[in-house]
Structure 1
Amino acid sequence: MRYTVLSVKVIIAWAVLIVAVGGAVTAWLLMGHTDRDTEADRLKLDAIRTAGSIVVGTGGAAALLLAARRQRSTEIALRQKDRDQADTALAFALRERVAADTRDDAAARRITDLYTKAVELLGSPHAPVRLGGLYALERLAQDNPGQRQTIVNVLCACLRMPCELPDDTSDDLPVEQIEDTYRATYRERLQEREVRLTAQRLITAHLCPGEHTDGPLSTFWRDIDLDLTAATLVGFSLRRCAVRTAVFRSATFVGYADFASAAFSGDADFGATTFTGGANFGATRFAADADFEWTTFTEYANFEAATFATADFEWSTFGDGADFESAQFTHSANFGSTTFTDGADFERTHFHDGANFGAAGFTGYADFRTTVFGGTTNFGAATFTANADFHGAEFCPIPAPRTDSPTDPQVDFHSTTFERGIPPELADYTDLD
């Protein structure tokens, strides 16, 4: 909005004009009353006062006009100042945004450069260089939480690569080359194993909640997914670790595998895996589906006090004993066609929502003492070669639909084979002949 500024000349001209108008009015009034009597004099004086009032009123009106213009100009100036301040704040915010975008772009480029260089190191044929790449990725992930899952995916991809361990030897080399070639090969395999062990340690070291699980001192990486499909894992340990989902399908665990007190908040897939050494899942918590279908446990497998949601061990093989003592299965548990070669301990285990042992094979001692079976229990076509102990086992009634009255326990031992004789605790079930 344009605003016209009054000049000094204009103000003087208006003042002169007001005085002239007052004088003219006074003269006119005096000229119009020339009588000399007392009444005439009074009229003249009234005329003069009237003229003076007109002059003063006109001057006051002019002063009021000037004050109004001054107030208006002040308000316009304040409004313009507010607009200028708003424009300045907007320009500052825009500069800040541009600066932040510039910093973000620079940080993204820096992260990309570091990530690219680290990944390039992993492709080196020299083990020390690959180790440097692993540690560079680990540091990058620690400093940039948004990159942690991506870097874990890279480390998992490294572990999924095929490898030959130091114990593997070749018998096809010529006699004159076998010593030197074997030494070089053995050294390369040792170095490769060290690289893989380092990758495993870098992953698991950041999956274990410690004293500092939050804040700048935290080394714990939350909500990490692991994909180690068909990987060869040596002495793998997730002891006391917490992950979201984990896929180990068709993986091979060489040596002792320790998952004690681990927590899986999502699905855990161990289908078709092979444990060449002992496997410890004691007190492990599976909050979602736990898939151990077609899994082979070559040596002793410990699931004592483990907690499962839905568990599937169908067609699995326990070659050296299985311990599920005090385990909790909150949903269905499937051990159909599972082979327990050297003893199965389910003492004090609680199946809350059904247990399927149909066609399972127990060639060693089967311990189901004080086990609680809720829901439907199926041992149909199972085979117990050695002793089976169900002393104190409890088969819970199932609530009938739409009523509060429970029905009889749904227990199926049809075609079950007890080579050492039917346990007396199962005599009440009429389907046992």
Structure 2
Amino acid sequence: MTPPPSRLTRSERRGLRLWPVGLALAVTFTTAVVVAATVFLTGWGLLDAHGLKPERRVDSTTLFDLVKLSFGVVAGAGALVALVVAYRRQRVDEDGALREATRLHTERFTAAVSQLGDESAPVRLGGVHALAGLADDAPTRALRQTCIDVLCAYSRLPYTSEDDLPTGDADARHSYLALREVRHTVIRLVRDHLRLPPEHQHAWQGHDFDFTGVTFDGGDFSGAVFSGGVARFTGATFAGYPVSFGGVRFTGGTADFTHTVFSAGATDFGGSAFADGTADFTGADFRGGTVDFTGSVFSGGAVHFHGAQFSGGAVSFSGAHSLSAAGGAEFSGGTVDFGGATFSAGRVLLGGVTFSGGTVTFESAGFLGTGVDFDGAGFSGGTVGFADATFAAGRVRFTDSVFSGGRVGFDNATFIGATVDFGRSSLSGGTVDFTDARGTAPTGLLPTGGPSAPLPTGLTVPPAWRSTGP
């Protein structure tokens, strides 16, 4: 099986291309003459020469020098011809070696893929390891990508989940567990290769990984480094068993979790880093289980939770109630977008999170019943926006939060039914802006002492809230 045409370089698609020998020699001699003339004229200028001394008679020494010069020119021309011929022979030999290596790789590839289609789980397991070894030995980057594509494609194949097994059928369960081991081996091999330093000859950083639509019944990507390329988890389902992305680094490239479903179990992103790339959770559905972003750092690029639905379970960016011992997440650069997200059930914990740079937006988000907790969060820089957000039900806590820099904006936000609590929060710098906000003022936001009490510096609220007091 040969690599897809789209993944081959131009030279690999068309084979070895060399100039005609006559043209190559002409270009080589022309280049040599130009270089020699340049060197001569440079030396002539440095010596400040103004002409040549005429010689009416040539002695034997000068004649001998002329003869040596003539032989030197002839020898140099011959050396140039030999150099061109040797270069072309080397290129042909290298191309032949590459073709032979590619042929052998293709034969091994075909055998490994045949193993993946075997009915026996141990044979499939051997095929997985064989493909990983082929990826390590691949003579070109395109052939390595092809091996990775097949490994990921195996994970995408449909299979019978544990919940769908016939009750009391021991053979079906044994078969499921055996094939589950094969699927988890694919994940482990990908993880192990992504843990290698980029300069390692077997490192897979920079390649694409496509887990679109995969149902993850467990797995461990912890410590992997996705430092380029695209990692696709589009439409994947995390259900029933723990899956770890703990300490994973997404630096450059794209991590695509669009429309991913987190329906049960525990998914751990604790201590992960999202920097200088795109992590896309657009339309993700958090409907059950626990998803933990504790200790994660969002320091560049863009992270999208736009249109995500938080309808069950617990999603934690906080240092509390987490799967790991790390502190709260840190938003220190780039853009994090929760715009249009819906918080309708379950819990979303952002307590202890640090907002120190970049932009975090909850624009047009709907807080419709879930418990969202910013308790103890620190806002010390950047911009956090809740423009046009709706707080209609449930409880949203900003208690013990510290506003010491940057801007937190609730422009045109609506407070019509939820309990929004700013009790014991501290405003010592920056701006907290409720311009044109509608509804009832959040608890603990306005100072005690009635409408005449001065607002903390940096806090802006609608006049209607001031007239009614806390």
Taking a change above 3 Å as real, the CA distance of residues 397 and 251 of structure 1, as seen in their structure-2 partners, is closer
Gaps of 5+ in 1: 1-63, 172-178, 399-407
Paired residue for 2:34?
none
Give the whole-Å Cα distance in 2 for the aligned partners of 1:365 and 1:198: 37
Residues 366 and 384 in structure 1, CA contact (< 8 A), matched pair in contact too? no
Give the whole-Å Cα distance in 1 for the aligned partners of 2:105 and 2:286: 42
Paired residue for 1:290?
279
Structure with greater Cα Rg: 1
Residues 115 and 140 in structure 1, CA contact (< 8 A), matched pair in contact too? yes
Paired residue for 1:228?
211
1:322 pairs with 2:315: yes
Deviation string, structure 1 residues 225-264 (Cα, Å, up to 9, x no partner): 2211101222122212111332111111231121122111
Deviation at 1:384, TM superposition (A): 4.1
Deviation string, structure 1 residues 248-298 (Cα, Å, up to 9, x no partner): 111112311211221112222222222321111112222333332232241
Paired residue for 2:340?
336
Write 1 or 2 for the structure with the bigger share of helix.
1
Deviation at 1:74, TM superposition (A): 5.8
Give the whole-Å Cα distance in 1 for the aligned partners of 2:236 and 2:285: 10
Taking a change above 3 Å as real, the CA distance of residues 66 and 126 of structure 1, as seen in their structure-2 partners, is same
Give the whole-Å Cα distance in 2 for the aligned partners of 1:409 and 1:343: 23
Corresponding residue pairs, total: 349
Q: Summarize the alignment of residues 119-198 of structure 1 with structure 2, pairs less than 5 Å apart.
A: 119-144=113-138, 146=141, 147-170=143-166, 182-198=169-185
- What TM-score comes out, normalization by structure 1 length? 0.70
Taking a change above 3 Å as real, the CA distance of residues 264 and 416 of structure 1, as seen in their structure-2 partners, is farther
Taking a change above 3 Å as real, the CA distance of residues 340 and 285 of structure 1, as seen in their structure-2 partners, is farther
Give the whole-Å Cα distance in 1 for the aligned partners of 2:290 and 2:311: 7
Identical-pair percentage: 25
- What TM-score comes out, normalization by structure 2 length? 0.65
Gaps of 5+ in 2: 1-57, 319-327, 422-440, 447-454, 456-460
Taking a change above 3 Å as real, the CA distance of residues 340 and 286 of structure 1, as seen in their structure-2 partners, is farther
CA RMSD, Structure 1 to Structure 2 (Å)? 3.4
Residues 251 and 274 in structure 1, CA contact (< 8 A), matched pair in contact too? yes
Residues 252 and 273 in structure 1, CA contact (< 8 A), matched pair in contact too? yes
Deviation at 1:316, TM superposition (A): 1.7
Taking a change above 3 Å as real, the CA distance of residues 394 and 333 of structure 1, as seen in their structure-2 partners, is farther
Taking a change above 3 Å as real, the CA distance of residues 222 and 387 of structure 1, as seen in their structure-2 partners, is closer
Deviation at 1:104, TM superposition (A): 1.7
Deviation at 1:311, TM superposition (A): 2.6
Give the whole-Å Cα distance in 1 for the aligned partners of 2:369 and 2:378: 17
Taking a change above 3 Å as real, the CA distance of residues 271 and 76 of structure 1, as seen in their structure-2 partners, is closer
Write 1 or 2 for the structure with the bigger share of strand.
2
Taking a change above 3 Å as real, the CA distance of residues 395 and 410 of structure 1, as seen in their structure-2 partners, is farther
Q: 1:346 aligns with which of 350, 353, 356?
A: 350
Residues 388 and 423 in structure 1, CA contact (< 8 A), matched pair in contact too? no
Deviation at 1:85, TM superposition (A): 3.6
Give the whole-Å Cα distance in 2 for the aligned partners of 1:337 and 1:102: 57
Deviation at 1:88, TM superposition (A): 3.3
1:281 pairs with 2:275: no
